[in-house]
Amino acid sequence: MYLTEKIVLGSVWVITFISIWFIPRKKVSHASCVYLITQFFTWFLGLSVVEFSWIDYPVRELSKANATSFSYEYFIFPIISIYFVLHYPTDKPLNPGFYIIFLLVQYLH
């Protein structure tokens, strides 16, 4: 891993870790459920996508053990999902197109 990649990865870790503190205390139990469910599906789908060679991560922390990006699959994406679920507007009608675009952007990046 090059220095630039380490700096970017480290800054993303710091930003993601700091964003945990902005989850409202009343919604921590809901956020933890979203986090664990997202990690479950990310584990299954992330490994499947990598094994079928649909995506290739150029920078991986555990490159000898796993072909997925540990940071993205198990930490960054679940935190993004928490904020998506907690701040999705509930007073408006459900727009499935927005949700589908969100998932496509996350898994086809």
**What are the pLDDT digits (tens) for 54-67?**
877 777 776 767 77
Phi, psi angle pair for 79, to nearest 5°: -70, -40
Task: Give dist(CA 55, CA 39) in Å, integer.
Answer: 18
The answer to whether 79 touches 20, Cβ cutoff 8 Å, is yes
What is the per-residue pLDDT across 14-59, written as a single tens digit (0 to 9) for each?
A: 998 999 999 989 999 989 989 998 888 888 888 888 888 887 777 7
